């Protein structure tokens, strides 16, 4: 057994050990608290610098514990007295209960589209993510929100434009072909089917568009396509498309170069207008014009011949002299008549000049 003195010193040592332990624990927890406080300030600094709205709420009550400046502006929160406010879901507590139920099932809510109504009355769609955390010693939820109203409006415009373009692409009577920079078919409208005499256009994707041109027109079409893809100005000129059944159609191509806004890849839209009937009508018209010109040339020849005959039969030869026929009829038959073509008419028809009447005593040569 210990002596009373030894027992006394053992008690003193125990008390000193307890005091030392308390001092070390106090120092440790103070250091930990300082570190946690420093870490909390660093985290809050990071949350303030985030490029989107971040808010921390009590898990049980939903009241806000922290909101960065973007969350205050986005949600229209009172600053700095937002502690009594909550995330303004459009469906109120119903939306919050759904988020809590999903957190219980999955542990996190990521990239969920939701509708918010800010405290200033502004209603907008948002993309949000919510995860559970411990904040200031409390069970809490941290949420990140991003206003996507501008994105939704842009998406709506894009969808509307796509719908209109799709309707135009599928209903326009001209054939529309989308080509890459090498001239390969990437997409073709349904109106291309009757041009090519095909039923399945999907099988033609990836083929060079030049393969569908008649062999004798390919050099011209190749040159035209190269100029179009390179962006050089080009007048539309026709070439023939060789159909599956062996027949050919005349088409007039027009095109434009564009850049895909998503992939930034350039492409060419080629519009092919069927001008076969117009071409045939032009050829028939040219043939009719040629025939008409030939007929007019013959009429002009006959006209000149008639004019020459009329011009030279206006006179008769009597006693070796050529006299006008009206003078002959007046002298020998006593008739006064008007006949033939007037001098002005002969001049208009381009008749040769009449021979001069020979003077008395001279001999006139017959025409």
The CATH number assigned to the domain holding 145 equals 3.30.450.20
pLDDT per residue as tens digits for the range 40-59: 566 666 777 788 899 999 99
Tell me whether residue 253 is in a domain.
yes
Tell me whether residue 361 is in a domain.
yes
176 and 266 share a domain? yes
pLDDT per residue as tens digits for the range 238-280: 888 888 788 888 888 888 888 877 678 888 888 888 888 888 8
Report in angstroms the alpha-carbon separations of 83 from 46, 72, 77, 214, 354.
Answer: 20, 11, 9, 77, 122
176 and 269 share a domain? yes
The stretch 125-153 carries a mean pLDDT of 89
pLDDT per residue as tens digits for the range 274-314: 888 888 888 888 888 888 888 888 776 666 655 555 545 56
Q: What local confidence, expressed as pLDDT, does residue 366 receive? A: 46
91 and 70 share a domain? yes
User: What is the DSSP-derived secondary structure letter of residue 353?
Assistant: P
Tell me whether residue 225 is in a domain.
yes
69 versus 9: the higher-pLDDT residue is 69
Could you give the CA distance from residue 248 to residue 196 in angstroms, rounded to a whole number? 9
Tell me whether residue 182 is in a domain.
yes
The stretch 171-194 carries a mean pLDDT of 84
23 and 72 share a domain? no
Tell me whether residue 286 is in a domain.
no
318 and 339 share a domain? yes
33 and 69 share a domain? no
55 and 30 share a domain? no
50 versus 363: the higher-pLDDT residue is 50
Tell me whether residue 10 is in a domain.
yes
Q: What local confidence, expressed as pLDDT, does residue 367 receive? A: 43
1 and 87 share a domain? no
The stretch 201-212 carries a mean pLDDT of 81
180 and 264 share a domain? yes
Strands of 109-117's sheet in order across: 64-67, 53-58, 138-147, 123-135, 109-117
Q: Look at the pTM and tell me if it is higher than 0.75.
A: no
Q: What is the dihedral of CA 71, 72, 73, 75, to 10 degrees?
A: 70
77 Cβ contact list (under 8 Å, min separation 6): 64, 67, 71, 85, 119
- SS3 of 234-291: the string is CCCCCEEEECCCCCEEEEEEEEEEEECCCCCCEEEEEEEEECHHHHHHHHHHHHHHHH
Q: Which of 253, 267, 264 is nearest to 179 (CA)?
A: 267
Q: What local confidence, expressed as pLDDT, does residue 194 receive? A: 80
The stretch 95-113 carries a mean pLDDT of 91
pLDDT per residue as tens digits for the range 303-346: 665 555 554 556 777 777 877 766 776 777 666 655 455 566 65
Among residues 94, 117, 151, the one where a domain terminates is 151
Tell me whether residue 161 is in a domain.
no
Number of domains in the chain: 4
192 and 266 share a domain? yes
Q: What local confidence, expressed as pLDDT, does residue 59 receive? A: 92
Confidence of residue 18 (pLDDT cuts 50, 70, 90): low
Q: Return phi, psi of residue 78, to 5°.
A: -75, 130
266 and 176 share a domain? yes
Tell me whether residue 321 is in a domain.
yes
SS3 230: coil
105 and 78 share a domain? yes
The stretch 200-205 carries a mean pLDDT of 74
Q: Which domain holds residue 315?
A: 300-367
């Amino acid at each position: 057994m210990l002596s009373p003195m030894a027992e006394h010193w053992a008690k003193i040592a125990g008390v000193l050990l307890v005091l030392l332990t308390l001092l070390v624990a106090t120092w440790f927890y103070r250091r930990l608290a300082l570190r946690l406080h420093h870490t909390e300030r660093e985290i809050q600094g990071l949350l303030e610098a985030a490029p989107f709205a971040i808010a921390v709420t009590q898990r049980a009550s939903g009241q806000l514990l922290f909101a960065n400046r973007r969350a205050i502006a986005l949600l229209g929160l009172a600053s700095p007295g937002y502690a009594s406010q909550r995330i303004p879901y459009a469906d109120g507590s119903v939306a919050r209960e759904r988020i809590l139920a999903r957190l219980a099932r999955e542990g996190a809510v990521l990239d969920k589209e939701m509708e918010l109504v800010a405290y200033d009355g502004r209603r907008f769609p948002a993309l949000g993510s919510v995860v559970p955390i411990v904040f200031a010693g409390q069970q809490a939820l941290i949420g990140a929100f991003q206003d996507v109203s501008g994105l939704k409006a842009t998406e709506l415009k894009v969808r509307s434009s796509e719908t209109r373009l799709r309707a135009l692409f599928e209903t326009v009577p001209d054939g529309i072909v989308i080509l890459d920079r090498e001239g390969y078919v990437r997409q073709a409208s349904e109106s291309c089917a009757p041009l090519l005499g095909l039923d399945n256009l999907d099988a033609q994707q990836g083929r060079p568009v030049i393969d569908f041109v008649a062999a004798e027109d390919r050099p011209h079409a190749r040159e035209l396509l190269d100029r179009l893809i390179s962006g050089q100005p080009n007048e539309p000129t026709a070439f023939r498309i060789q159909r599956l059944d062996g027949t050919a159609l005349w088409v007039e191509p027009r095109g434009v170069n564009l850049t895909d806004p998503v992939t930034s890849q350039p492409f060419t839209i080629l519009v092919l207008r069927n001008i076969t009937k117009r071409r045939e009508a032009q050829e028939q018209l040219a043939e009719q014009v040629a025939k008409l010109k030939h007929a007019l040339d013959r009429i002009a020849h006959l006209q000149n011949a008639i004019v020459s005959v009329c011009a030279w039969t206006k006179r008769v030869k009597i006693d070796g002299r050529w006299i006008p026929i009206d003078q002959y009829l007046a002298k020998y038959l006593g008739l006064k008549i008007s006949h033939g073509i007037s001098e002005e008419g002969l001049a208009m028809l381009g008749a040769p000049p009449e021979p001069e009447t020979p003077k008395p005593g001279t001999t006139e040569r017959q025409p």
